[in-house]
Structure 1
Amino acid sequence: MSSSVAPQLLPPLRRLLADPSLHLRLLTVESDLPAGALDQPVDWVHSSDLPDPTPFLSAGQMLLTTGRQFAVDTAADALYPEYVARLASRGIACLGFGTEIVRDGTPDALVAACLARGIPLVEVPYGTPFIAVARAAGELIAELRFARDTWTLAAQRAISLAALRPDGLSATLSELSRQLGHWVALFDPRGELDRVFPRDAFSGASASRDSLDRARNEAERMLRRGQRASLTVNDGGETLNLQTLGRRDQLRGVLALGGRTELDPASQEVVTSVIALAGLSLEQNTALGRARNRLRSGLLQALLGGQVELVRAISTDLWGAFPLEPVRVAVTNPPPERLDTITEFLELRAEEGGGYLFYARLGNSVVALVDSTTGPLLDELVGFGLHVGLSDPVECRALPRALEQARQALDRSHQGEPGITAFDVISRQGVLAFLATTNAAEVGRAALQPLSAHDAEHGTALLVTLRTWLECNGQFGPAAMALGVHRHTVRNRIGQAEALLGRDLGSFHERADMWAALLTTQGMPAS
């Protein structure tokens, strides 16, 4: 992957060691140190002869010492391991030992202690003042920061120019990938991959494709939450950075970047500018989408008014083939703040399906006409946490009736977890079962109150006996078997229930009324 190679922000230790004016000599052989030990960034140089300078050190610093804190005799050898261990726990990048001030040369025991802890140890000759090492590091840091600032400005200018090209969004993301040396992917509001740069980023190793799959999974989770968010994860040696695009509850997608290195503040600044440009581009696309949605809503009204051929002709010219008859009407009521997200998702699905899906807003609802090829689409809507009502298959001229069926199915769907409820399912349950979705529950509870009150006061089981007896078509023998009691016990309980209710349960009308009352209060306290 070619890139403009953004400069590092801090100099590696190797650059300090290579400075000929400092005459530094590495005492710990590089091959005996951890890999990359000499390529660690050095953010400052500090000098101290304290036995424990760690309270005044930060990770990534280089410490210089003359060894004044150690005795000159051999007893000092025992102090070095503990001293170096403290430095290692602080995360210093290097230890420099100044010679010919307290003692000649660097103690072998100190070299061994540094090797044991994986800390580079350099010898600083008498002719090299500590301040010269600190000044050299400071000049390198300033040089790299200037180069980094220059790169940031150049990168932002290149990205701004890319945004002016005909396909500004793709050009911008491609330029971001080139500048950072990372792959860049854009996921749509469904969490599906929209585009990726460079285009051949995932044509090689499977590890890279695994990173893309991980990014897709994280993007789907972020979009389902419906809130603006950013995320950084490590995946198989790659660092993934993800950022949602768009406003809260109106997310337009997710921008993902992946690479072997983490983004520093300068790179993050460049990414932030791209997020703003990408968000603007997607918002413009959204404005066009709103105009399409208004047109779709008008066509749906015409369709419900019976102008099927007119709507079919217009829809076919604009979006491709119209759903094949018979069609089923699906209705969902997403939260108002997520209406745009759902309609954008359906627009993408309609484009992919070649027109075999027609959808439109109707008030706060989203109505979709689907044929046999677009059934799986409804499962994806449920994935957004939505309830969906689905009509029976009908001809297009019967859409008003199908819409009413879908709405009734949607009402029933809201009684449970998000999912699809088909009208044919609730129609098979019968008219009495539909009473449970109305306000008849209070009437039913009042009708059954004499039984529930008696059960509560005397510990009887009249209510459950009545339900079981009715379920057994008023037969005492099967009801007794289901309850695990004698048939005469059931007969006595039903007689007691008749007395309390003031009803003749031998009448079909009274039995049907009691059954309806039980259905309306199912799962509710009857008292």
Structure 2
Amino acid sequence: MLEFEWLFNQGALEINPICAPHATTFSAVQTNELEDATEFIQQDSVVLTIAIAFANREDELVDYLAHLASAGAVAVGIGTGLIFSSAPDAAIKAAQELGIGLFEVPRQISFISIVSAVHQEQSRRNDIAQRRLLSAQEQLTHTATRGNLRELLHEAAYLIDVELSIINEHDDAVVSTAPPTKLQYFSSYEMTAHGERQHTLKVDSDHPITAEDRSLIRHCAGLADMLLARPLELRQARNELNSFALRLSLGLPDTTSPSQMLPTTLDFPRDKEGFTRPVAVLADDTRSLERSKLALDANLEKRGQFLYTAQLDAVSFTVLFRGDAELKEILDLFGGSLRRLRVAIGKRIHSTELSSEHVEELVARARPLPLGDYLSPRSQTMPWLNSEAVRAALASRRRETINVLRTIDAERNTELARTLSVYLRKGGQLKQTAEALNIHRHTARNRIAHIQQLCEIDLSEPTVFAELLFAIVQDSETASN
């Protein structure tokens, strides 16, 4: 925006002001000779015209100026010496009533010279603003390198002359340059979401917020975002410390690189009652295990949480979660890597009571599971399955179904035996079975139908379903011994 004072002070343009505009600034200068140019008039513009369409129709200039004002023009410059020797009285009266500016442009001054002068001044000011913005951005970046979020916000507030504050997803102020205020102008910028963490940079000002101000505020928001986010290097270091501390707490040997500076206390992931939940994770190979650990860390990072693990051996580790973590929440954190794991989720236990015995028990429970399956605290063992009569009956059922499916799987590279196992353990729920196997629900339904046809069984019959479930459980326990 340029000031009318600047325009009228350009002596080379020889502009003769007649009516002062209500507005103090304008955005552009344009020429127009149409009687109705509403669709072409820019907001807050100055219109230059010789009014050729109104020769001998001076009185109609009243309506012409009115439609220019309604279209957004804030001033009109009439070129004199061609159609009118001076600004017509009707135009002067209309401009006074409408509150728009009116000035004369003598014949020897071309309209293009006015347009060019305005364009050059706007370019000059834009260059100055850009240099000022770049300098301010560099200043904020330098401040941010010191790692002090409060100092960054105060520096930005000083440069823009506004009040700034960062609030979290609960509308609590994380840092602010002043107490809560209700100034005339307000804006806000949503910062990058980190899982459940969401921050917003709020701006309060007693003056309009310019485009340069907004650019600097966005730059400040980006820098603040980096200071609020946990850097990858810090996160990896913290995860390693958590792992070392967990090993120390459980009395596990360090199979990697022992350190002389292991922490003696552990920042357990506790709920508000002080409870944690241990989980044992087993895989068939180290690559699957590492992928699961990476998936866990990535998903926890989205929630603003750290990873607490201790490697047990090459293909197993234990991990801790908050005591109030739900079963589905824990399983979801493994993502697609779950299908290559055996997972045993322990009961809530007070962090001061956690020991290696709890971990060993979970590992023992997880080991007989098929890949992609898990045990929860609600899973129960059934000692009566070990009676000779029951074992014989279930072994017969197993040979007729499970062993048949395993043979077919080996020949055709299918997963019918695993599908049946998961389906039985999920209580015959197709949706849960499909989710556990990471397949479509229709695929799971087709597999179950194919299994019933191959084995000549009816899984809708409760006794058949129960017998097969017990056979699966017994098979898992036998494999672990």
TM range (shorter): 0.5 to 0.7
Which residue in 1 is equivalent to 2:240?
294
Which residue in 2 is equivalent to 1:342?
300
Q: Distance in 2 between matches of 1:404 and 1:115?
A: 88
Which residue in 2 is equivalent to 1:25?
18
Q: Secondary structure at the match of 1:102?
A: coil
Q: Is the 8 A contact 1:331 1:366 kept in 2?
A: yes
Alignment of 1:423 onto 2:376: yes
Which residue in 1 is equivalent to 2:45?
61
2:190 to 236, 242, 250: 242
Which residue in 2 is equivalent to 1:48?
32
1:64 positional shift: 0.9
Q: Secondary structure at the match of 2:51?
A: coil
1:445–1:153 Cα change, 3 Å: closer
Report Cα offsets for 1:292-331 as digits up to 9, x if no partner. Answer: 2112123334545558xxxxx9656575998888643268
Name the amino acid aligned to 1:291.
Answer: A
Q: Is the 8 A contact 1:70 1:79 kept in 2?
A: no
Name the amino acid aligned to 2:240.
Answer: R
Name the amino acid aligned to 1:258.
Answer: V
Which residue in 1 is equivalent to 2:467?
513
Alignment of 1:204 onto 2:186: no
Name the amino acid aligned to 1:73.
Answer: R
Q: Which runs of 5+ in 2 are unaligned?
A: 254-260, 282-290, 336-343, 386-420, 428-432, 438-443, 472-481
Q: Which residues of 2 match residues 274-423 of structure 1 at below 5 A?
A: 274=220, 285-304=231-250, 317=265, 319=267, 327-329=276-278, 336=294, 339-340=297-298, 342-343=300-301, 345=303, 359-360=308-309, 367-371=319-323, 375=324, 378=325, 382=329, 386=333, 391-394=346-349, 395-397=353-355, 398-400=357-359, 403=362, 423=376
Which residue in 1 is equivalent to 2:67?
84
Name the amino acid aligned to 1:299.
Answer: A
Alignment of 1:141 onto 2:125: no
Q: Distance in 1 between matches of 2:134 and 2:45?
A: 29
Q: Distance in 2 between matches of 1:14 and 1:406?
A: 85
Which residue in 1 is equivalent to 2:284?
none
Q: Secondary structure at the match of 1:244?
A: coil
1:197 positional shift: 3.6
Which residue in 2 is equivalent to 1:151?
132
Name the amino acid aligned to 1:196.
Answer: V
Q: Secondary structure at the match of 1:69?
A: helix
Q: Which residues of 2 match residues 484-523 of structure 1 at below 5 A?
A: 512-513=466-467
TM-score by length of 2: 0.56
Q: Distance in 1 between matches of 2:239 and 2:221?
A: 26
Which residue in 2 is equivalent to 1:120?
100
1:41 positional shift: 4.1
Name the amino acid aligned to 1:244.
Answer: T
1:444–1:321 Cα change, 3 Å: closer
Q: Is the 8 A contact 1:65 1:97 kept in 2?
A: yes
1:24–1:100 Cα change, 3 Å: same
TM-score by length of 1: 0.52
Q: Distance in 2 between matches of 1:445 and 1:185?
A: 60
Which residue in 2 is equivalent to 1:224?
none
1:291 positional shift: 1.2
Q: Distance in 2 between matches of 1:361 and 1:177?
A: 46
Segment of structure 1 superposing worse, 132-141 or 56-65: 132-141
Name the amino acid aligned to 1:45.
Answer: V
1:387 positional shift: 7.2
Which residue in 1 is equivalent to 2:76?
95
Report Cα offsets for 1:400-436 as digits up to 9, x if no partner. Answer: 157559979x999x99xxxxx9934454999996365
Name the amino acid aligned to 1:360.
Answer: T
Which residue in 2 is equivalent to 1:105?
87
2:203 to 245, 248, 258: 258
Name the amino acid aligned to 2:31.
Answer: S
Name the amino acid aligned to 2:48.
Answer: L
Name the amino acid aligned to 1:513.
Answer: E
Q: Is the 8 A contact 2:279 2:346 kept in 1?
A: yes
Q: Is the 8 A contact 2:280 2:319 kept in 1?
A: yes
Report Cα offsets for 1:11-69 as digits up to 9, x if no partner. Answer: 245654677974423366x3xxxxxxx15542x32233244556876545321112111
- In the alignment of these two chains, the number of paired residues is 384
Q: Secondary structure at the match of 2:136?
A: helix
Report Cα offsets for 1:462-512 as digits up to 9, x if no partner. Answer: 986x45xx6xxxxxxxxxxxxxxxxxxxxxxxxxxxxxxxxxxxxxxx684
Q: Distance in 2 between matches of 1:427 and 1:169?
A: 51
Which residue in 1 is equivalent to 2:415?
none
Q: Secondary structure at the match of 2:54?
A: coil
Name the amino acid aligned to 1:393.
Answer: R
Alignment of 1:72 onto 2:49: no
Identity between Structure 1 and Structure 2 (%): 16
Q: Secondary structure at the match of 1:342?
A: helix
Q: Is the 8 A contact 1:327 1:369 kept in 2?
A: yes
Q: Distance in 2 between matches of 1:435 and 1:400?
A: 25
1:141–1:384 Cα change, 3 Å: farther
Q: Secondary structure at the match of 1:124?
A: strand
Which residue in 2 is equivalent to 1:231?
none
Q: Distance in 2 between matches of 1:316 and 1:127?
A: 90
1:173 positional shift: 3.2
Q: Distance in 1 between matches of 2:201 and 2:228?
A: 15
Q: Secondary structure at the match of 1:122?
A: strand
Q: Is the 8 A contact 1:185 1:195 kept in 2?
A: yes
Name the amino acid aligned to 1:423.
Answer: S
Q: Distance in 1 between matches of 2:268 and 2:53?
A: 84
